[in-house]
């Protein structure tokens, strides 16, 4: 009898904890947006995440098509062979 009571009390405590946790999770703001400060930067939503783009930044050559959506290009290399964004 004591084991059943302990088991019922544990299940009740666990279910209370889960409902409290789920209400805390759902109250978190879901509409957080990222903005880029300054007029030099362009906010871009790329396949690997949000990024603030500007001329001269390092870029992924494989993501050149995605940069074109924001009027940037990832074609030019520096003396070390690294790619940088251009307009």
Q: Give the pLDDT score at 69.
A: 95
Per the CB < 8 A criterion, the answer to whether 2 and 9 are in contact is: no
Q: Give the pLDDT score at 70.
A: 95
Give me 47's structure tokens: 């396949």
Per the listing, tokens 């990024």 go with 51
When pLDDT is averaged across residues 76-80 and rounded to a whole number, the result is: 94
Rg (CA), the chain: 25
Beta-carbon contacts of residue 49 (< 8 Å; ≥ 6 apart): none
Domain ranges of the chain: 42-86
CA-based diameter of the chain, in Å?
A: 79
Give pLDDT tens digits for 13-68.
Answer: 776 665 555 554 544 444 445 678 888 999 999 999 999 999 999 999 999 999 99
Q: Give the pLDDT score at 10.
A: 74
């Amino acid at each position: 009898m004591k084991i059943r009571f302990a088991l019922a009390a544990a299940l009740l405590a666990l279910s209370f904890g889960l409902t409290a946790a789920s209400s805390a999770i759902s109250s978190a703001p879901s509409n957080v947006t990222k903005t880029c400060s300054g007029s030099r930067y362009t906010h871009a939503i790329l396949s690997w995440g949000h990024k603030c783009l500007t001329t001269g930044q390092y870029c992924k050559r494989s993501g050149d098509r995605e940069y074109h959506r924001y009027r940037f290009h990832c074609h030019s290399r520096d003396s070390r062979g690294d790619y940088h964004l251009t307009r």
